[in-house]
Structure 1
Amino acid sequence: MQTQFKQHILATSIAALLPYSAAQAQELPVKKPSEVVIHAEKIPAPNIDGVTQKSALAATSDVATLLRDVPGVSLYSAGGVSSLPAIHGLADDRLRIQVDGMNLISACANHMNPPLSYIDPTQVGSIQVLTGIAPVSTGGDSIGGTIKVNSPEPEFAAAGQGTLLKGQAGSFYRSNGNAKGGNFAATYATEIWSLNYTGAIAESGNYHAANDFKAAKLAASDKAWIAGDVVGSSRYKSENQSLSVAMRNAGQLLELRIGTQNIPYQGFPNQRMDMTGNNSEQVNLRYKGQYDWGTLETRLYNEHTRHRMNFGDDKQFWYGNAPGMPMDTEGKNTGALIKANLMLSERDKLSVGTEYQRYRMNDWWIASGTGMMMAPNTFVNIADGQRDRLGVFAEWDANWTAQWVTQLGLRYDSVKMNSGNVAGYSSMYGNPALPSSVPGAFNAADRQRKDNNIDLTATASYTPTATFSMDGGYAMKSRSPNLYERYTWASNNTMVMNMNNWFGDGNGYVGNLQLKPEVAHTLSATLNWHDAALSDWEVKVSPYYTQVHDYIDASSCAAVGKTCGTRKDGFQNLSLSNQKAKLYGLDISARKQLMSTSEIGSVSLSGLLNYVHAKNTVTDSGLYNIMPLNARLSLTQKKDHWDNTLEVQMVDAKTDLSDIRKELRTAGYTLLNLRSSYTWKQARFDVGIDNLLNRFYNLPLGGAYLGQGATMGAGVAHDTQVPGSGRSVYAGVTLKF
């Protein structure tokens, strides 16, 4: 049945995605390769030409979901505003993700506050996604692609206009989870100055699956009743605000942006803890200047995060005499960038620059109760964590002819890491001053590390005709471990290991001081057929192959010289080690205008198909959380003020699994979604239905269900995957003034 389902996806998708062959050849200007840009005027999820409909703003509060239609992108499920994007099977810290040019870092043992959680979808101006070989100038210390999310560019009054005053307000409601929210934006500008404010709030209760996936019972002994179809710990509330002031003059722009975030709560169905607070303040100063010799860009930013975890409404709070388990994290992130684009000739451009990031983090757990398990001292998970990165890069672009463009890039990053002394709640965790104990051995070890990472890219783009282009190349990219991968230490306690889990698989983890940086070698290409005017049809085919040396993957504790406690609940206690991995696959995307008449309007078909195969070549096991074969088809009709879309999403069964993590299988499924919008003067109305047929399915990248009960104990079932959402009807309205 799984083979038949996979063949059905392939046959249906390819038949729809490849409707026409290439037309007659003509000269065509060179285009920039392997890049998807999503603009705010058409948010959120891009179709194959990089543009999507605003209607999805009413359907999501998670910026990561704006990427769901980008070929090669999949999403790790997490909290309601904190999904983690993956590109070609590489996710989280393996990607370079920037928000308004800031390289944000997840300050949490469970990665509950990833970079894309720090901006609301309604505050996004554009998203650039580089799923192929990302230029070295877009950032180092990553082996996957690059995602750049930017707020709208400052607006100024036109010459002679005097002043510009404009604004926008919107709200939405979603039936599943009783989700609701609103947003507001206002701009006041002259020809020289621009002042902008944006604010957004979103909240939701627990969402419902299409059917019962567990027994209806008390969420925990000290909690309320929870129905069998309710996905526990999926509620959230998020508040984001931003204020920017900009000045321009003679080709130069200076902008100061200040942002704040407050998340009072966010549940996580695949974690043993929930977020009980996340507060962030960001100050971001940038300068862009146009000169005779080229352009200059500089940026200086500072971000401070205060993060808290404990048990939310659906997880048991009291354990004996211990009222909860407070966990605190503080991260301080300072960065700077200087980049110059030098126009050496009509043919050649040289980009050079340097980038610096200084990151400090503390992760501590305040004592709870009076027993030795979580008292009387503060548990120090990571003390004075340091991760400093200094990078320099050079990139040469050459337009050899109207058909040939090449790019060569070289980057060096020095990554320095260190941490301070640690300690457990009590003597049962070991004496921190005694080298023979677990914390003592960590404290006595040399914890300072310096990695010298080299990135190299070589790409070319060839456009022989008006209806065909191709680009591709080779990249060597490097990534150093994060602080949690290297410096979490408590291998002698299952409870503590459970708390250090940024994977959502329910297992317990301990770090490894001996980890080396990952080094990935990638070959990729994109073949693009289209009509000469780029208005009727287009087909893109993108194969890729990546081999990762020193890939950081889960391993048994014994394999890295650690002794971890055994467990009988179906989950594992694991560490991390450098291994090897191989990933390859294919992305296909296409669009075709089917008809355009005065009676019906414009009707078009678009779609994409993604396939990735990923394996640990040391253990001959699948890598964790790899999206199975999937496809999406969209039939869109536009007429006058109306924009209507019927969407079919097909996902194959997930059978290539990470054995050591005891990853769960998921069955294949097909979903049907509808959305419609009506624009009238300064107003836009959106309605839609996700999962129209109320189909039950488990999320392939949803992780283990830990959304309710005594998640600190051994009573959580191992065999339950986080399910997807049942039917949800949503509506939204946006007013401009």
Structure 2
Amino acid sequence: MSIQPPARGRARMAGRLPVVLLLGTTAPCRPALAADAPTAVIEQSITVLGVSTLPAHDADTTALFTGTPGFSAYSAGGVSALPVLDGMADDRINTLIDGVRMESACPNHMNPAMSYIDPDMVQTARAIAGITPVSLGGDSTGGTIEIRRRPPRYAEPGHVLVTGRLAANYGSNADGRGVSGEVTVADDHLSLRWSGAYRQADDYRAGGDGGIVRSTSFLAFNHAATLGLQGRNDQFELTFGQQDIPYEAFANQYMDMTNNRSSFLNGRWTHRFDRGFLDGASLELGGHWQRVDHVMNMLDDKGGHSATTGMPMNTAARQAGYALDLTIPRGIHTVKLGTSFDHDGLNDWWPPLPGSMMMGPGTWHNVNDAHRDHEAQYLQWDAQWNRRLSTELGWRNDIVMMNTGPVAPYSRMAMSMGTMPMDAMPMDAMAMPSDDAMAADAFNAAHRGRTDVNFDVTATAKYLITDALDIEGGYARKTRSPNLYERYAWGVDAMAAEMIGWFGDGNGYVGNLNLRPETANIASFTLLWHDPAQGDADAQRWRLSVRPFTNYTQGYINVVSLGALGAGASLLQFANHDAESFGVDVGGHARLWADRRFGRGTLDTTLSWVRGTDLTTGTSLYHQMPLNGVTTLSERLGAFAGRISLSWAAAKTLVDALRDEPATPGYALLGFGASWRWRGTTLDVGVDNALDHTYVLPLGGRMLDAGEGRRALLAPGRSVNVSLATTF
């Protein structure tokens, strides 16, 4: 079926809140944040860099990292952007939500991990680029993103706590609107919390005379209930939640999401030992379960399509697992060890479309009863040798077991998916099996089970050279096994292959049973100069961090061409190549003034540059962000906070020609805003893209609506945003 969404824009940034990111390991500063606003942290080789501008209550949780060095995002639906760290994207980033690694359950990755949590439910958002501690998980050749909800709150002994918060926001571009809130009732041992969020927007308007960008609307609901119990040495949390996305349009995909329902259960028990050999140690046991039912078709604003000429596609995913972690501190040493198991089950089938020759008469079984099971063990040793020197060594073993059942095309008849009329088709051709039927036969006859035995190692050190200069760095060997679609997508005809791919490029993708895991060799170091003032980063008048990095990946999963599909698109198959990325991230902060009369003024700037090359073909890697940065001038005086920012990106000229990646011109965007806080209420007003500049998203891919001619995806124009948040 087809769903008719509203006709105009989507919400982008309903006001912006300044967030100062940490330097070293001190606690974050909190200048003029809305009530209980989430804290975003970017870590680079365990050093935190830079200053960011945090969008207040943006619908997409990836926006919590906007403007931070080394981070960018593939443009997708309104709540489904795919994260990028140092040029490595999506599945190369180990994304954890409350300690649980979550997989996309869609051939277009329309439901990535961060789409399952509303940003207003987030307490901390941490990204570690490059060298990830082994205790945080595997499949992290690009880094790790860790998102945590607010923990349960408890009352003082003998009291009852009733508290909550409510927030609302509106953005003029796309008529974006949202409401979110939570309420907690607790005593000193038991805590109950409900939280929820509603987000909706229409198709957004591009800058200048760019017009409405179709297929960018969305509607999303999130609900979660958390039970917390605490004793003298024990804490227990159990969260049950559900997400409903009735529709989410995708301008750079042939399909749209016409329903996505997820239910999850996530529990965690922590025990702290206070006697015996394990005195001071902590044991944490976590378990999770998730069910996802995902439906795709073409929404009515997808030009030239309707419910009768669409393409129904269904996905059902089931995830479950556990993790057991033990932390043992012993003087200057801390040992962490643990084990975990994750099961990811997937069924992907495309029902026949009544009356269609191309999509019928049977059901297309794309991925049939597949699983990707992940068993792991790790050992990590942290040591603080003296005031100046600390080290971290880690080892991790991951066993990834994958398999899938037999598949089937819509029909075995030759040319059933072509354009030749039935009465003009030769009888001998109709009797021949189609290309997809032969591909299905070959796939079903092949041995499909695969087991990858991966291991990771990390070695990092931090040394305080002087009170004003720190250096840290290290090396990591990181691995990633292919995802289910990279190995098991089997259709070779144009229509089937074009339904596979999360790159927004309009090409068709075919899996490869012979793919090997990726092995990344990562080296990076950070030089941090700062005011020698003692205390946290807020006490420092200035700081500057520079982090160069390199990543040489053996078996990088890229593509080879199987032929042209017309109109600039190609049929591509996943293949192992060797690749190299290198670049630098820079963050700077200066306190310009600070007194009672004029308040506190700060200047913050970030800069990021990355260059990725496929060493097998000598071409640029796909979707590498060009040189970019953000400069923000902020002022805080009592209850008032103001900011003006300039974000920019250079022209993107190094592109992947095989994928028909568009080159994009450079741009500079002006934004400003102000917030007022009175008791527990904060009002924030801001303007994004204040000059209504027309520009193209460097990682936006191509617009695939009929009649758009595969143009590069245009970015949103000016938006006036208002948000109001209050606590009680």
Q: Same fold (TM over 0.5)?
A: yes
Task: Give the 3-state SS of the residue equivalent to 2:413 in structure 1.
Answer: helix
Contact 2:131–2:476 (CA under 8 A) maintained in structure 1? yes
What is the alpha-carbon distance in structure 1 between the residues aligned to residue 668 and residue 619 of structure 2?
Answer: 27
Contact 2:49–2:69 (CA under 8 A) maintained in structure 1? no
Matched, 1:175 2:168: no
Contact 2:229–2:237 (CA under 8 A) maintained in structure 1? yes
Taking the TM superposition and a 5 Å limit, the aligned residue runs for 1:33-432 are 41-43=36-38, 56-58=55-57, 60-160=58-158, 162-213=159-210, 229-292=211-274, 293=278, 294-316=281-303, 322-343=308-329, 345-428=330-413
1:78-132 deviations in Å (ceiling 9; x for gaps): 0001111100000100000011111111000000000000011111011121114
Q: Flag the 1:330–1:398 CA change in 2: closer, same or farther, 3 A.
A: same
Contact 1:95–1:142 (CA under 8 A) maintained in structure 2? yes
The aligned residue for residue 569 of structure 2 is 571
What is the alpha-carbon distance in structure 2 between the residues aligned to residue 83 and residue 274 of structure 1?
Answer: 14
**TM-score scaled to structure 2, two decimals?**
0.89
Show structure 2 runs of 5+ residues with no match: 1-22, 43-47, 416-431
Task: Give the 3-state SS of the residue equivalent to 1:447 in structure 2.
Answer: coil
Q: State which drifts further: 527-536 or 541-550.
A: 527-536
Contact 2:648–2:669 (CA under 8 A) maintained in structure 1? yes
Contact 2:168–2:178 (CA under 8 A) maintained in structure 1? yes
Q: Flag the 1:165–1:49 CA change in 2: closer, same or farther, 3 A.
A: farther
1:211-238 deviations in Å (ceiling 9; x for gaps): 344xxxxxxxxxxxxxxx1111000011
- 1:335 Cα deviation (Å)? 1.5
Q: Flag the 1:671–1:316 CA change in 2: closer, same or farther, 3 A.
A: closer
Task: Give the 3-state SS of the residue equivalent to 1:500 in structure 2.
Answer: coil
What is the alpha-carbon distance in structure 1 between the residues aligned to residue 709 and residue 90 of structure 2?
Answer: 26
- 1:376 Cα deviation (Å)? 0.8
Contact 2:413–2:433 (CA under 8 A) maintained in structure 1? no
What is the alpha-carbon distance in structure 2 between the residues aligned to residue 583 and residue 388 of structure 1?
Answer: 29
Matched, 1:725 2:716: yes
Q: Flag the 1:74–1:34 CA change in 2: closer, same or farther, 3 A.
A: farther
Task: Give the 3-state SS of the residue equivalent to 1:93 in structure 2.
Answer: helix
What is the alpha-carbon distance in structure 2 between the residues aligned to residue 728 and residue 33 of structure 1?
Answer: 35
Contact 2:38–2:125 (CA under 8 A) maintained in structure 1? no
- Over the matched positions of the two proteins, sequence identity in percent amounts to 37
Q: State which drifts further: 404-413 or 426-435.
A: 426-435
Contact 1:317–1:324 (CA under 8 A) maintained in structure 2? no
The aligned residue for residue 678 of structure 2 is 680
Q: Flag the 1:436–1:167 CA change in 2: closer, same or farther, 3 A.
A: closer
What is the alpha-carbon distance in structure 2 between the residues aligned to residue 448 and residue 33 of structure 1?
Answer: 47
What is the alpha-carbon distance in structure 2 between the residues aligned to residue 332 and residue 318 of structure 1?
Answer: 31
What is the alpha-carbon distance in structure 2 between the residues aligned to residue 426 and residue 34 of structure 1?
Answer: 61
- 1:466 Cα deviation (Å)? 2.2
Q: Flag the 1:372–1:686 CA change in 2: closer, same or farther, 3 A.
A: same
What is the alpha-carbon distance in structure 2 between the residues aligned to residue 726 and residue 474 of structure 1?
Answer: 42
1:505 aligned partner, one-letter code = D
Q: Flag the 1:432–1:360 CA change in 2: closer, same or farther, 3 A.
A: farther
Q: Flag the 1:310–1:363 CA change in 2: closer, same or farther, 3 A.
A: same
Q: Flag the 1:697–1:435 CA change in 2: closer, same or farther, 3 A.
A: closer
What is the alpha-carbon distance in structure 1 between the residues aligned to residue 208 and residue 663 of structure 2?
Answer: 18
What is the alpha-carbon distance in structure 1 between the residues aligned to residue 365 and residue 681 of structure 2?
Answer: 53
The aligned residue for residue 223 of structure 1 is none
What is the alpha-carbon distance in structure 2 between the residues aligned to residue 43 and residue 705 of structure 1?
Answer: 33
Contact 1:35–1:130 (CA under 8 A) maintained in structure 2? no
Taking the TM superposition and a 5 Å limit, the aligned residue runs for 1:333-732 are 333-343=319-329, 345-428=330-413, 437-491=438-492, 493-531=493-531, 532-533=533-534, 534=537, 535=539, 536-557=541-562, 566-706=564-704, 708-709=705-706, 717-718=709-710, 720-732=711-723
What is the alpha-carbon distance in structure 1 between the residues aligned to residue 68 and residue 28 of structure 2?
Answer: 10
Contact 1:127–1:148 (CA under 8 A) maintained in structure 2? yes
- 1:41 Cα deviation (Å)? 3.6
Q: Flag the 1:538–1:584 CA change in 2: closer, same or farther, 3 A.
A: same
Task: Give the 3-state SS of the residue equivalent to 1:542 in structure 2.
Answer: strand
Q: Flag the 1:318–1:704 CA change in 2: closer, same or farther, 3 A.
A: closer
What is the alpha-carbon distance in structure 1 between the residues aligned to residue 547 and residue 595 of structure 2?
Answer: 33
Task: Give the 3-state SS of the residue equivalent to 1:64 in structure 2.
Answer: helix
Q: Flag the 1:487–1:132 CA change in 2: closer, same or farther, 3 A.
A: closer
Q: Flag the 1:364–1:237 CA change in 2: closer, same or farther, 3 A.
A: same
The aligned residue for residue 14 of structure 1 is none
Q: Flag the 1:387–1:35 CA change in 2: closer, same or farther, 3 A.
A: farther
Contact 1:358–1:388 (CA under 8 A) maintained in structure 2? yes
Q: Flag the 1:434–1:231 CA change in 2: closer, same or farther, 3 A.
A: closer
What is the alpha-carbon distance in structure 2 between the residues aligned to residue 148 and residue 723 of structure 1?
Answer: 30
Show structure 1 runs of 5+ residues with no match: 1-29, 214-228, 558-563, 710-714
Contact 1:178–1:204 (CA under 8 A) maintained in structure 2? yes
What is the alpha-carbon distance in structure 1 between the residues aligned to residue 249 and residue 373 of structure 2?
Answer: 31
Contact 1:600–1:639 (CA under 8 A) maintained in structure 2? yes
- 1:400 Cα deviation (Å)? 1.4
- 1:357 Cα deviation (Å)? 0.4
- 1:44 Cα deviation (Å)? 6.4
The aligned residue for residue 9 of structure 2 is none
What is the alpha-carbon distance in structure 2 between the residues aligned to residue 645 and residue 477 of structure 1?
Answer: 39
Measured on the aligned residues, the alpha-carbon RMSD in Å equals 2.3
Task: Give the 3-state SS of the residue equivalent to 1:485 in structure 2.
Answer: helix
- 1:36 Cα deviation (Å)? 12
Q: Flag the 1:125–1:262 CA change in 2: closer, same or farther, 3 A.
A: same
1:491-510 deviations in Å (ceiling 9; x for gaps): 1x101111111111111111
Contact 2:640–2:676 (CA under 8 A) maintained in structure 1? yes
Q: Flag the 1:484–1:435 CA change in 2: closer, same or farther, 3 A.
A: closer
2:355 aligned partner, one-letter code = T
What is the alpha-carbon distance in structure 2 between the residues aligned to residue 479 and residue 132 of structure 1?
Answer: 13
What is the alpha-carbon distance in structure 2 between the residues aligned to residue 600 and residue 145 of structure 1?
Answer: 41
- 1:465 Cα deviation (Å)? 2.5
- 1:50 Cα deviation (Å)? 7.1
Q: Flag the 1:49–1:409 CA change in 2: closer, same or farther, 3 A.
A: closer
Q: Flag the 1:276–1:305 CA change in 2: closer, same or farther, 3 A.
A: same
Task: Give the 3-state SS of the residue equivalent to 2:443 in structure 1.
Answer: helix
What is the alpha-carbon distance in structure 1 between the residues aligned to residue 400 and residue 682 of structure 2?
Answer: 48
Task: Give the 3-state SS of the residue equivalent to 1:272 in structure 2.
Answer: coil
What is the alpha-carbon distance in structure 2 between the residues aligned to residue 295 and residue 474 of structure 1?
Answer: 28
Contact 1:455–1:477 (CA under 8 A) maintained in structure 2? yes
Task: Give the 3-state SS of the residue equivalent to 2:174 in structure 1.
Answer: coil
What is the alpha-carbon distance in structure 2 between the residues aligned to residue 509 and residue 35 of structure 1?
Answer: 43
Task: Give the 3-state SS of the residue equivalent to 2:135 in structure 1.
Answer: helix
